[in-house]
Amino acid sequence: MSEFNLTILLASVVAGAVPILLATLGETITEKAGIINLSLDGSILLSAMTAFVVAYETGSILMGFACAALAGALVAAVVAVFSIYLNQSQVAVGFVLTLMTRDLAYFLGNPYSRLQGPSVLQHPIPLLSDIPFIGEVFFNHTFPVYLSLLLIGLCWWYMYRTPQGLNLRAVGENPRACFARGISPAKIQMFYAVCGGAFVGLAGATFSLCTKPGWGRPQGAEGTGWIALALVIFGGWHPVRAAVGAYLFAFLQVIGIYFQNWFPSVPAQVFQVAPFPLMIFTLLIINFVQKESAIDRAGGKAWMKSILGTLSGAPPTALGKSYRPD
């Protein structure tokens, strides 16, 4: 039934990674500015619901995506406002919103459960999709796939090559110093929290209009938000590395489906929860690598150091701390 075909496998990885990739990129942006938006798991569901309902009612997929981005941005804005203007714990607010937005999604989306709705169509890119192998893997997809590919590069360029990106990184490192330089930490944190939230919204829309079309309880996107949060750590707060993490994860998911077919005797639950122990394991390795003792042990070996270097990435210094001007 499932013959192994590398081209199809990779193509499905590129397509399947889109929601988690968008969410991971969005959260990377938000955290780079120093705000943790823990509500990802719920806001993905809320925006998935929004996207489906809007697309169903208006018949416009684009409207669905736009409204989903808005929903994601709104949730992130709540986290940011609580942190910046009310000085409340981002983790606490984020967690409350995780549960609340999920329930809100189930509640408001209830009448639309299991309805046949619109979904995104395939748009092979002319010429490019004709390239053997590469064309099939990258350029024979739906538009969210192209968007996600584009956004990886765009994020990197914006963060590391533009003055605005410098301000973004600076605020995540030291808001106080930003204030002294005339950069308003509050405005920047607010703006990028909302931007990151909009990415998360797009991730949700991709779920309900593309990857797993439709709405229901459960939708199937449950748990993705947490994986995305872990992938941000895996990515060392760097957009390209985060993207690599997202693709690796999608690869494992696809492989998991193959495995399920190859080993029918293993209960399905094992494959369903496999991402989570895997997440813990990855974080364990990342943490081990970053310990001083590991760096000591690497000693003079250059190759060891380069491996450690690529695996370690420090969080923005002011991550998760509310900034209060003095």
Partner 1 sequence: MRIDIRDIHKHYGSTRANNGITLTVKPGTIHGILGENGAGKSTLMKILSGYIRKTSGKILVNGSVCDYHTPAQAAKLGIGMLYQEPLDFPPLTVLDNFMAGQTRGIKNQKDFFRKKFESLVDHFNFTLNADGAVEKLTIGERQQLEILRLLALGTEGLILDEPTTGISREQKESLFQALKKLASEGKSVLLVSHKLQDAETLCDTVTVLREGVVTGSVDQPYDAGAILEMMFGVLPGTPSRSAVEYGETVLSMKQVYGSGGRTGLSNCTTSIRQGEMVGLAGLGGSGQEVFLRLAGGIKKPSMGSIELLGEEVQGKNLHAFKKDGVVFLPASRLEEGLMPGLNITEHFALQDQGDGLFVKWHEASGTAQAKIKKFRVMGTPESAVESLSGGNQQRLLLSLLSKDSKLLLLEQPTRGLDVESANWVWWHLHKYCLRKTSVVFSSSDLDEILMVADRVIVFFDGRIVKDVKKDETDIDELTRAIVGKAQ
Partner 2 sequence: MNISDNTKHTAFLRYSRELILTLVVVFSFTTLILLLAGAPPLAAYYQIFKGSLGSWMKLGQVISVWIPLTLCSCGLLYTFRINLWNIGIEGQVMMGAIFTTFVLRFGMDGHMPGMYLCAAFVAGIAGGAIWALFAGYLKTKGGIHEIFAGLGLNFVAQAIILWLIFGPWKRPGIASMSGTELLPRELWLPYVSYMRLSVVGLVLAVIAIAVTALMLRYTKIGLYLKAIGSNLNAAHMFDLNPRTYMLIAMIFAGGFAGLAGGIQVTGVYHRLIPAISSNYGYLALLVVMLSNYNVWISPAVAFFFACLNVGSIQLPMMLQLDSSLSGVIQGALVLAALVMHAWRMRAKTLKEPFYNE
Residues that bind partner 2 (CB under 8 A): 38, 78, 82, 86-88, 91-93, 95-97, 99-104, 106-111, 217, 223, 226, 229-230, 267, 269-270, 272-273, 276-277, 279-280, 283-284, 287-288, 291
**Choices 25-33, 63-71, 269-277, 288-296 (CB under 8 A): range interacting with partner 1:** 288-296
Q: Quick one: 170 or 210, whose CB is closer to partner 1?
A: 170
**Choices 45-53, 173-181, 193-201, 222-230 (CB under 8 A): range interacting with partner 1:** 173-181
Establish if 150 lies at the interface with partner 1 (CB under 8 A): no
| d(C-alpha 258, C-alpha 8), whole Å | 12
Q: Quick one: 126 or 299, whose CB is closer to partner 1?
A: 299
| d(C-alpha 84, C-alpha 76), whole Å | 12
| d(C-alpha 8, C-alpha 25), whole Å | 25
Establish if 300 lies at the interface with partner 1 (CB under 8 A): no
Distance in Å, CB of 210 to partner 2, minimum: 24
Q: What is the DSSP string of 100-142?
A: HHHHHHHHHHGGGTT-----PPEEEPTTGGGSTTHHHHHSEEE
Helices (H) and strands (E) in the chain, counts: 16, 2
| d(C-alpha 85, C-alpha 317), whole Å | 20
223 binds, among partner 2, partner 1, none (CB under 5 to 8 A by kind): partner 2
Among 60, 108, 161, 187, binds partner 1 (CB under 8 A): 161
| d(C-alpha 219, C-alpha 205), whole Å | 12
Collect all residues with Cβ–Cβ distance below 8 Å to 324 and sequence separation of at least 6.
87
**Choices 76-84, 90-98, 162-170, 266-274 (CB under 8 A): range interacting with partner 1:** 162-170
Of the candidates 242, 240, 247, the one whose C-alpha atom is nearest the C-alpha of residue 161 is 240
Exposed e or buried b for every residue in 228-257, given b needs 16+ CB within 10 A?
A: bbbbbbbbbbbbbbbbbbbbebbbebbebe
Among 176, 187, 301, 305, binds partner 1 (CB under 8 A): 176
| d(C-alpha 14, C-alpha 164), whole Å | 29
Establish if 293 lies at the interface with partner 1 (CB under 8 A): yes
Residue 181-210 contact track with partner 1, rule CB under 8 A, x = bound: xxx---------------------------
| Contact footprint for partner 1 (CB under 8 A) | 158, 161-167, 169-170, 173-174, 176-183, 292-293, 295-296, 314, 317, 326
